Copies of this chain bind each other. A is one copy, B any other.
Amino acid sequence: MHEVAHSPHTHGPHIEGHFESTEVVRDIVIGLSDGLTVPFALAAGLSGAVASSHIVVLAGLAEIAAGSIAMGLGGYLAARGDAEHYVSERHREEREIIERTRDEEEEIYEIFEQYSVSRASAEPVLAALKQNPTAWVDFMMRFELGLEEPAANRAHRSALTIAISYIAGGLIPLLPYMLVADNLTALKLSVVITLLALAIFGALKGKLVGTGWLRSALQTVLIGGAAAAVAYTLANLLNTHSR
Contact surface of A with B, Cβ cutoff 8 Å? 1-16, 18, 30, 33-34, 37-38, 40-42, 45-46, 49-50, 54-55, 57-59, 61-63, 65-67, 69-71, 73-75, 77-79, 81-82, 84-85, 89, 107, 110-112, 114-118, 120-125, 127-129, 131-132, 135-136, 138-139, 143-147, 162, 209, 211, 219, 222-224, 226-228, 230-232, 234-235, 238-239, 242
Contacts and interface: CB of A to CB of B under 8 A. Distances in A.
Contact of A1 (B70, B118, B124, B128): B70
A62 to B, nearest CB: 3
Nearest to A141: B12
A120 B124 CA distance: 8
Given A4-B30, A65-B227, A230-B69, A121 B115 contact: no
A122 B82 CA distance: 31
B69 A226 contact: yes
Contacts of A55: 50, 55
A89 B82 CA distance: 27
Contacts of A16: 107, 144-145
A144 B79 CA distance: 24
A154 B87 CA distance: 30
Contacts of A224: 70
B41 A62 contact: yes
A131 B115 CA distance: 11
Given A37-B66, A62-B45, A79 B5 contact: yes
A10 B62 CA distance: 32
Contact of A58 (B15, B57, B115, B235): B235
B65 A45 contact: yes
Given A4-B71, A11-B146, 8 more contacts: A4-B9, A7-B7, A38-B66, A42-B66, A61-B235, A65-B234, A84-B211, A116-B132
Nearest to A132: B116
